[in-house]
Amino acid sequence: MPIKTVYTAQIDHLQILDENGVLDEKLAKDTLSDEQVRYLYEFMITCRALDEVAFKLQRSGRMGTYPQNKGQEANAIGSGFAAKKGVDFLVPCYRENAALFLHGLPMHYILLHWMGDERGNQIPEGVNMTPLSIPIGTQMLHATGIAWAFKLRKEARVAITYFGDGATSEGDFHEAMNFASTLQVPCVFYCQNNQWAISVPRENQMNSETVAQKAIAYGMPTIQVDGNDLFAVYKATRDAIERARAGGGPSFIEAVTYRLADHTTADDARRYRDPNEVEAWMGKDPIIRLRKYLEGKGLWNAELQAAHEEKSRAIVAEVIKTAEGIAKPSTDDIFDYTYATLTPNLEVQRRTMRTASLAQDPQQAGLNNPVNA
């Protein structure tokens, strides 16, 4: 019997706007209007400004550890814009701040979170997202569950979850992909392949040529896109969301991007990264190419750039003022959200801030005790 080929696969790579700002008009058709691109470019500048200032806040001791989003903004903005605000549901990691802002999270929430305050996770009513997920890869299963609920209730809604290349090594990733695919739930898996999981490069993280091919094992539509290309990110995400909304099940997107900054402010990437590699990716910055594109079309110039940078500085200053203006929570805050109703035991701990029973119970601590009497 001859050996038959029972499966073959290919992975497409999508790029629409190259690093020189040259657009593939054919592929760009029906994607973003000039007005939208300009709006999103301006938004990207503001998000970058916030990101840079957040870094400085950490360095000057005004904020705790912070993971910079720098260089990856086209992912959050392109995909976030493709999802329907107030309808679809975002399940992020921690390098998609801009997508969260697009969907209505006030900017100061992110700072508040990294300033060590859980109120930064208290997502406002009507804003459809989970808070930042600090452990790696646990959130993808939650996205699958959310999407499953949408399917059960026959709602035309989609969950989109974000994670990095490193997260695809976790067992939870594979379980989420398999559940989503066998259940055919409306979920988009958006992998920001930024090449580095702290100090481990993608090629040591996995022996697969692409991250995108992992979805093939789960029978899921998959694509690789240039993650620093706003158009490609938007188009791939929009297509995946439309497919999911129409009942076509989950999709996988591998977005090839780069973490321009350290993993977090507690990291020093110079210990393990070649500066030439970082330098090369600096040139692929999504902001640079969008600006070139807009300027080429006569939609942008140095004057507008200066004006918008000024505006961004003002927005960021206001965001910091808001975040820093929020006083430390009362110690009740430690207790009040442990359960829907505070247990009697916790009520005593909250009132006394004590755990030793002698300090809690004056009867035991004091002279009324029969032993001391």
Partner 1 sequence: MINKPDSFGIAKSKSTQPELPMPRTPMMIEKGLTLVDAINEALYQELERDPRVVLLGEDVGLNGGVFRVTDGLQKVFGPDRVADTPLAESGIMGTAIGLAMAGMRPIPEIQFEGFLGPAYDQLCNHAARYRTRTRGAITIPLTVRVPWGGGIHAPELHSDSPEAIYAHTPGLKVVCPSTPSDAKGLLLSAIRDPDPVVFFEPKRVYRSYREQVPEGDYTIPIGQAKVVQEGSDITVITWGANVFQCLEALDKLPDDVSVELIDLRTISPVDTDTIVQSVQKTGRCVVVQEAPKTCGMASELTTLIQEHCFLYLKAPVQRVTGFDTIMPYYKLELDYLPDAKRIVETIGLTMAY
Residues that bind partner 1 (CB under 8 A): 64-65, 113-118, 134-138, 166-167, 169-172, 197-200, 204-206, 266-267, 271-272, 328-329, 331, 333-335, 337-338, 343, 345-346, 349-350, 353-359, 364-365, 369, 371-372
Instruction: Determine phi and psi for 13, rounding to 5 degrees.
Output: -110, 130
Least distance CB 262 / partner 1 (angstroms): 11
Strand residue runs (E) in the chain: 13-14, 89-91, 159-164, 187-193, 196-197, 200-201, 222-226, 251-256
> What is the spatial distance between Cα 96 and Cα 4, in angstroms, rounded to a whole number?
44
Instruction: Tell me whether residue 266 or residue 317 sits nearer to partner 1 (CB atom).
Output: 266
Q: Which of 38, 48, 113, 259 is an active site residue?
A: 259
CA distances to 52, 67, 88, 273 from 263, in Å = 14, 6, 29, 11
Place of tokens 């870094």: 55
Least distance CB 296 / partner 1 (angstroms): 40
Instruction: Tell me whether residue 16 or residue 197 sits nearer to partner 1 (CB atom).
Output: 197
293 is catalytic: no
234 is catalytic: no
Which parts of 184-301 fold into alpha helices (H)? 202-205, 230-245, 275-282, 286-296
- For residue 309 the two structure tokens come to 């940078």
Which parts of 10-106 fold into alpha helices (H)? 25-28, 34-59, 73-82, 97-102
Q: Which of 38, 157, 202, 263 is an active site residue?
A: 263
Least distance CB 294 / partner 1 (angstroms): 37
- List, in sequence order, every residue forming a beta bridge with 252; answer none if it has no partner: 189, 222
Least distance CB 54 / partner 1 (angstroms): 14
259 is catalytic: yes
Place of tokens 């505006």: 311
- For residue 137 the two structure tokens come to 């890869």
First-to-last alpha carbon distance for the chain, in angstroms, is 97
Q: Which of 272, 313, 351, 354 is an active site residue?
A: 272
Instruction: Tell me whether residue 306 or residue 359 sits nearer to partner 1 (CB atom).
Output: 359
Least distance CB 209 / partner 1 (angstroms): 16
Instruction: Tell me whether residue 301 or residue 369 sits nearer to partner 1 (CB atom).
Output: 369
Instruction: Tell me whether residue 127 or residue 348 sits nearer to partner 1 (CB atom).
Output: 348
> Hey, which residues are catalytic here?
259, 263, 272
